[in-house]
Amino acid sequence: MEEAEEKTQQLPSLSEFKTLSIELLSSSLFDEPSPKENTAETHLLSRLCLILDEYQEQSYLLDPHLEDLVKPLIVALRSFFSDPASTSLLASTRLHRLSRLIYTFTKVRGAKTILRLFPHEVTDLGILLSLLSNESTLGATTWETRYILLLWFSLVVMLPFKLATTSQEKTDGIEVIGMRYLGSASKERDAAVTLLARYYSRPDSSLNNFLSTCATSFSTTPLSPLLATGLLSALNQILRLSSPRMLLSHYSSLYRLLGVCDASEVRKGGALMGKYHMKLAGRLALLKLEGAGEREEMEVPDEVEVLVQELLEGTQDQATIVRWSSAKYLARISERIPSSFSSQIFEALLSPFDEPDQSLDEEKAESSWHGSCLAFAEFSRRKVVPDDAIERLIPCILRALLFDRKKGVQSLGSSVRDSAAYCLWSLARVLPPSKAAPHANQLAEHLVAVAVKLDFFTVGVRKRSFLHAASLVAEHCEYRNGLVRHLMSVTLTHYDPEIRTLGAGALMRIASLDAEVLVPPLVESQIALLATKDTSRLHGVILSLGALATAAEATSEPLRTELKLKIFLAICALPPASLNVYGSGSILLSAALAALESSATPEGLSDSTSWWGSVELASKSSVEEAHERAADAVRAISVVHDCRLDYSMQNQPHLNKVVDRLILFASTPAPAKKAPKSPPPIKPKGLASTIEGKRNGIDALNLLAMSSGNLEILGSSRIERVVDVVLAGFGDYTVDQRGDSLGQEVLDTAISSLLKQAVEKLDGLRERAGKTLEVLASLECLRWSGGRGLRGIDILEGIHERLSEWRTFNWAAERLFPLLAIPEYRSPLLEGAILGITPHSASSAFIDFAISLPLHAEEDESVYSLFDLLQQLVALGKANFTSNRLFIPVLNVFGMLVESGAFDEFEEESEIHLLRDILLLATRSVAQMKSWPRLAASIKIVASFLAYDHVGETAAKSVPVFLAHPLPALRQLTAEEIFTVVGDWDNASLQSLLSDVMWSQDGPEQAEAADQGPVLLGHVFGLIAYGVLLSTFYHYRYNNNDAWGRTSKVLKCAIWAVVLLNTAFCALGAHDIWFFGTLLTNNVYLCLTGTLPETVEPLFSGTVASIVQIVLAARACRVVPVGIWRWVYLAVVGSLIILAFLGTVATTIWSVAYHKDPYTNFMPISFGTTMELWMWFESATDLAISGTYIFVIRKRIKSGVNELTGSVLRMVINITLQSALYTTVFATTAALLCQVYVSKGQTNDNLYSYMFWIPLGPLYGLSLFTTLSTADRVQTTLGHQRELAEMRVSIPASYGRQTEALPEDQQNSMLFPNVSATSSRPRSVPSVREGVSLKEWEA
């Protein structure tokens, strides 16, 4: 009683709650609050909820005051809904707050208790039915309001008169309302279950309608887990509340429902659904046994046998709550069935213990043993354990107490051991003394003494169980031998090294109780086991020998010396190879050194130096524990064998030499300036190769300085060097962070590092750093004049207190965070503070400090503001974006600041820009991330930012990336976080989407998936075209010297540019094939974001297209008649080429920007529009060039030419069509796909256009070479390659103006002056200097 009163005094005062609730109710629910009132009432509600939350663990303390606290709230709620005007005011903010407060009462004290205080008059039925039936207006309320209304309705439907007498519509409305919320994912489902259960338990309700609905829902494929869970929960409540007589009339329908609800679908639905399924089976079995007659005389119905089999299978389910529900109902059923049938159930539960330990996998063995033990405990509590089964049960339970399986790095079996202990507790309560005697007589003498010595806190912690509880129990000889046997056979051979170490400690304490008897035989047996090859067993043996050597101290001489000598020589005789086994770390070596330490004797060290081998082996190890154990061993050996050095004035030269070596070992040379292309600097000899070595060197300097007695022995210069090394060590967090020289900068660096350590999460480090700060702050020598010395000395002086609590993070943080105002200390201190904030440590000190800062520094730059803090946090996050060690705490801090309302007053442009930086930091490269803590912290920030007007739209754009992430847990968390934010929004469809979709499962309801085929196909086709391009270039460059020789320098540069750009483009394409081909997810947003090399691919492709189009346009220009038409042609084609290139540049800019930040619109036009314009202009340019070329040549043919010339010109047209066809078709198809899909917002289909624009670069290169090889193809086709190669045809430059008026024969003679109209073989003629070649004309 006194304890309860003391706890009550520690809880918040309820008088404050009453005062605050009166203040909250003083405002009318029909009026909307002003912004100022809204803020005040929000804080008021938070305080009220906080007071109630303090009573969560002792909610019964509220009972005497519950009516006074809750009644005013319910009266206000009823008054509001009784007013007809309330229907239009359901979105009232104050109504939401009132509902939230009442819901908090139901959460703390329980819905059943609070529901008794609600009114239940006849008029309430119509009010609630009208409110809950109007789904459109009810959607404006919060889920808390709907939950409270449904709870209230569940009480009103129990009015003691037939509801059908009032109106049939009311009864139908109750069913509709309950079914509407039965599939909800929030608390509304619990209230709907209560409503339906109470309604259908009425005699005047139609239970058949509900059973038909259940059968239809259970047979639907796929089964909705949320709805099925609600239906099963409602069925259980109906079976609990309804009379057996009414239920038996519907038993066949209820029984069939279990068959309709498939077991595999139940397992997919989760543990809660499985629990309700087992409870339904158990309740149906109990219902069937209702009134079946005397227990021993009844015949078990077939339905009960089937249900019992299902419950037996439930005891082996993977979920604990399913196994426990099955176990409870099996015990209840066994109370009502004949003992023979009950014995069969018991035998079935014993069957998992009869199987060999290795016949089942770890998880199945754990679940089956755990379920059986729970069932045994329930059987024991209800006294239905068969008498003949006790002998078999107790050995099985004892085996379960030792159940321990290793799976990977995890240990399975704690649940089995707990359930076995629960079973023994149950047996002890109900087992008669006569039955317990055979198993407890030998233990009964000291049971009371053991019970007095042990409590939960002693055995609840594993370390205390081994090192404290075991020795207390072993004081009674009845338990001693059993404990020793268990330690030797089980604990010291355990797979976990920590368990073996604890077992050795327990063995040492137990053996010390009777060392003369226990230690000698144990030493002999353990020495014999040193030859084992099993690493775990050898480790346990060495640990036990070390423990026994310590326990031998309790023996008398000469037995003590004999035992320790045996152990020492046995450890020294171990070969070094057995102590340095690969994969065992240093545990064997450390255990051997610990055994040497505890067994060192003068007799063992007189003639033997073999112990030094283990010490030397430890000195070569990089493991710190091995170094410590070696030091402990040498220290213990030096006690019985003189190993010390005399550091006195006589050994000063040797001492100075040692100090100089240690100074060099622990120091770091200044970084030398490295010349370009010079080899890396050679590290001086004598320096520490690891950071651990450097730390040990500084520790050794400290020990030497302290042990020397008089520091003047070392000399002033040497002392200065020691101080420099120690101060430089303050900044040595990693191998590449060093200090500087002695002075103000070094002092600032050292103090900054100490401050960082003083707020980090390691308690021991924080305490040592704090104590060092206290000493430094008290030194007068560090208070230099002229503004030099310790900065912030006034703050540092404040850390001196009589009782300093550096191990408490909040205590240290409150005293050191004000130093953030000092720029020299800011970065390290903030970094240490961020690292000190973890999900398992307090963060209130930092958040409170941040909120206490002014928003801006105004004109005083020396004032540290919240805006400055946030800017520095953003900079810290950007600098450590790839380091989860710092980046995740930064995100967590941002999330805590959002929850605390630190950003609520951000309205200026600079503040909004800072919020966008935080959002970008949280969402950058989310699709590629796999770190769960990082992703969880990011989605919390995104969800919180949805409520801010200035960044809410940007945050909403990143939500699909989280909902489409390959991690199912992240998708589920995203839906939950977003649902929490949008709970107050008037968007029922969005809430339904977030709650109904199973985001944790992969299925068609998930976010859009990308079809990676077009991207891969486009790159593969591009690589094939690039191979053809390389082959063509090689033939043109090296196998056709005449053609290459005739090519101008400008054209050669263009050819080389096309080839090299295509090479670079295809290299990026190969990278894309690897990236998309090995992508573990087809997330459309990840595919669209792509990689940084992928974003510049459009620029390469567009540049190749522009070069080729310029060359072709220039060559086509020669056949266009001189005059206005040529200028028009150049203007049109030139404009198209420029526009196409600008489209390329715009597409590239969009790609890079989208990769960096996919949630911000950087340009007035979208990415799809830029790609669409680029493709259309490329297509138009190709059509303009090739169309003009073909038009002029066809016009020439129609004007009249001879047969030979006509065939040549028609061949040129065909070649032109071939060269322009594939580029034009591919560009036009890509443009059409962009037009059809991207412009309509179909993000996934955006990738289809990639299949056609990606190969354009190599195709344009082939188009160029096709045009350049026209002359060779003409010569080959006409069969006169040799003669035509030597021919040079003189064509005047004014041919385009003069030839149209000439007759056909004269045109032919100008084209082929040495070929007659009837000749098929041209004759070789000298070339004409002032003409143009056939190659040039053909262009």
Q: For 952-981, how does the pLDDT look when each residue is reduced to its tens digit (9 = 90+)? A: 777 777 777 777 777 777 777 777 777 676
> For residue 502, what are its two tokens?
């604890």
**pLDDT higher than threshold 70 for residue 623:** yes
**pLDDT higher than threshold 50 for residue 5:** no
- Identify the weakest region by mean pLDDT among 175-184, 191-200, 686-695, 795-804: 795-804
Determine the pLDDT at residue 443: 44
Instruction: Give the CA count within 13 Å in the CB-facing half-sphere of 746.
Output: 14
**pLDDT higher than threshold 50 for residue 1308:** no
Determine the pLDDT at residue 150: 92
Is residue 779 very low, low, confident or very high in pLDDT (cuts 50, 70, 90)?
Answer: low
DSSP string, 1311-1332: H-TT--SS-SSPPP-PPPTTS-
User: 154 Cβ partners below 8 Å, 6+ apart?
Assistant: 115, 191, 194, 195, 198, 199
Read off the DSSP letter of residue 530: G
Please classify residue 939 by burial: count the beta carbons closer than 10 Å to its beta carbon, then call 0-12 exposed, 13-18 middle and 19+ buried.
buried
How far is Cα 1144 from Cα 1171, in angstroms, rounded to an integer?
A: 8
Determine the pLDDT at residue 108: 93
Q: What share of the chain is helix, strand, coil (3-state, %, to 5)?
A: 70, 0, 30
Determine the pLDDT at residue 1268: 73
Determine the pLDDT at residue 238: 92
User: Which residue is it, tokens 């259980």?
Assistant: 236
How far is Cα 456 from Cα 459, in angstroms, rounded to an integer?
A: 5
DSSP string, 978-1002: HHHHHTTSS-HHHHHHHHHS-TTS-
Determine the pLDDT at residue 1328: 31
**pLDDT higher than threshold 90 for residue 446:** no
How far is Cα 835 from Cα 175, in angstroms, rounded to an integer?
A: 55
- Identify the weakest region by mean pLDDT among 314-323, 379-388, 580-589, 1084-1093: 1084-1093
Determine the pLDDT at residue 751: 64
Nearest Cα residue to 570 out of 607, 596, 601, 602? 596
Mean pLDDT across 674-678: 44
Greatest mean pLDDT among 343-352, 760-769, 1018-1027 lies in 343-352
- Identify the weakest region by mean pLDDT among 784-793, 889-898, 1065-1074: 784-793
In three-state secondary structure terms, 246 is helix
How far is Cα 836 from Cα 872, in angstroms, rounded to an integer?
A: 17
Q: Angle at which helices 143-156 and 168-181 pack, to 10 degrees?
A: 140
Determine the pLDDT at residue 6: 45
**pLDDT higher than threshold 60 for residue 59:** yes
Determine the pLDDT at residue 390: 82
At residue 846, φ and ψ (nearest 5 deg) are: -70, -45
Instruction: Give the CA count within 13 Å in the CB-facing half-sphere of 1178.
Output: 38
Pick the more confident residue, 486 or 355.
486
Determine the pLDDT at residue 684: 53
How far is Cα 170 from Cα 545, in angstroms, rounded to an integer?
A: 81
User: 774 Cβ partners below 8 Å, 6+ apart?
Assistant: 799, 800, 804
Nearest Cα residue to 1008 out of 1182, 1313, 1246? 1246
**pLDDT higher than threshold 50 for residue 670:** no
Q: How do residues 255-283 score in pLDDT, each as one tens digit?
A: 988 888 766 677 677 888 889 999 999 99
Pick the more confident residue, 904 or 235.
235
Round the CA-based radius of gyration of the chain to a whole number and report it: 44
Q: How do residues 1140-1171 score in pLDDT, each as one tens digit?
A: 888 888 888 877 776 665 555 556 667 777 87
How far is Cα 564 from Cα 560, in angstroms, rounded to an integer?
A: 6
Determine the pLDDT at residue 761: 65
> For residue 452, what are its two tokens?
């007095």
Pick the more confident residue, 129 or 994.
129
Mean pLDDT across 1077-1096: 61
Determine the pLDDT at residue 377: 92
**pLDDT higher than threshold 80 for residue 21:** yes
Q: How do residues 493-541 score in pLDDT, each as one tens digit?
A: 888 888 899 999 999 999 998 888 899 999 999 988 888 888 888 889 9
Q: How do residues 789-798 score in pLDDT, each as one tens digit?
A: 556 665 665 5
Is residue 757 very low, low, confident or very high in pLDDT (cuts 50, 70, 90)?
Answer: low
Q: How do residues 511-524 score in pLDDT, each as one tens digit?
A: 998 888 899 999 99
Determine the pLDDT at residue 530: 87
Q: How do residues 604-620 score in pLDDT, each as one tens digit?
A: 666 555 677 777 777 77
**pLDDT higher than threshold 80 for residue 1327:** no
Nearest Cα residue to 1088 out of 1029, 1041, 1151? 1151
Instruction: Give the CA count within 13 Å in the CB-facing half-sphere of 277.
Output: 33
**pLDDT higher than threshold 70 for residue 568:** yes
**pLDDT higher than threshold 90 for residue 870:** no
How far is Cα 248 from Cα 284, in angstroms, rounded to an integer?
A: 10
User: 1165 Cβ partners below 8 Å, 6+ apart?
Assistant: 1146
- Identify the weakest region by mean pLDDT among 8-22, 121-135, 744-758, 775-789: 775-789
Instruction: Answer yes or no: are the C-beta atoms of 321 and 278 closer than 8 Å.
Output: no
Instruction: Answer yes or no: are the C-beta atoms of 124 and 152 closer than 8 Å.
Output: yes
In three-state secondary structure terms, 410 is strand
User: Which residue is it, tokens 């059809």?
Assistant: 1236
- The CB density around residue 150, as the number of other CB atoms within 10 Å, is 24
Determine the pLDDT at residue 1243: 44
User: Which residue is it, tokens 């006790």?
Assistant: 390
Nearest Cα residue to 73 out of 48, 96, 102? 102
Instruction: Give the CA count within 13 Å in the CB-facing half-sphere of 934.
Output: 21
Determine the pLDDT at residue 321: 92
* Straight-line distance from the first to the last Cα atom of the chain, in angstroms, rounded to the nearest whole number: 109
Nearest Cα residue to 890 out of 911, 874, 867? 874
**pLDDT higher than threshold 90 for residue 375:** yes
Mean pLDDT across 431-440: 70
Q: How do residues 630-647 score in pLDDT, each as one tens digit?
A: 777 777 777 776 654 433
- The CB density around residue 779, as the number of other CB atoms within 10 Å, is 10
DSSP string, 1057-1111: HHHHHHHHHHHHHHHHHHHHHT-S--BHHHHHH--HHHHTHHHHHHHHHHHHHHH
**pLDDT higher than threshold 60 for residue 989:** no
Is residue 1302 very low, low, confident or very high in pLDDT (cuts 50, 70, 90)?
Answer: very low
Determine the pLDDT at residue 995: 53
Determine the pLDDT at residue 308: 93
User: Which residue is it, tokens 């049109």?
Assistant: 1132
**pLDDT higher than threshold 60 for residue 885:** yes
Mean pLDDT across 864-873: 82
Determine the pLDDT at residue 863: 73
How far is Cα 1167 from Cα 695, in angstroms, rounded to an integer?
A: 56
Sign, CA torsion 500/504/505/509: positive
Average pLDDT, the chain: 74
Q: What are the start-end ranges of the E strands in 279-404? A: none
**pLDDT higher than threshold 60 for residue 492:** yes
User: 1006 Cβ partners below 8 Å, 6+ apart?
Assistant: 963, 964, 971, 997, 999
DSSP string, 833-879: HHHH--TTS--HHHHHHHHHS-S--TT-TTS--HHHHHHHHHHHHHH
Instruction: Answer yes or no: are the C-beta atoms of 198 and 158 closer than 8 Å.
Output: yes
- Identify the weakest region by mean pLDDT among 384-393, 912-921, 1328-1337: 1328-1337
User: 892 Cβ partners below 8 Å, 6+ apart?
Assistant: 837, 839, 843, 937
Determine the pLDDT at residue 739: 33
Determine the pLDDT at residue 149: 92
Consecutive H or E run containing 407: strand 405-407
- Identify the weakest region by mean pLDDT among 60-69, 427-436, 1025-1034, 1241-1250: 1241-1250
831-835: long-range contacts (C-beta < 8 A, 24 or more apart)?
Answer: 831/756, 831/876, 831/886, 832/755, 832/756, 832/757, 832/758, 832/759, 832/760, 833/759, 834/873, 834/876, 834/886, 834/889, 834/890, 834/893, 835/760, 835/761, 835/885, 835/886, 835/889
- Identify the weakest region by mean pLDDT among 132-141, 746-755, 828-837: 746-755
Determine the pLDDT at residue 1225: 78
Is residue 1289 very low, low, confident or very high in pLDDT (cuts 50, 70, 90)?
Answer: very low
Determine the pLDDT at residue 482: 81
Length in residues, the chain: 1339
Determine the pLDDT at residue 733: 42
Determine the pLDDT at residue 127: 85
At residue 636, φ and ψ (nearest 5 deg) are: -70, -40
Is residue 233 very low, low, confident or very high in pLDDT (cuts 50, 70, 90)?
Answer: very high
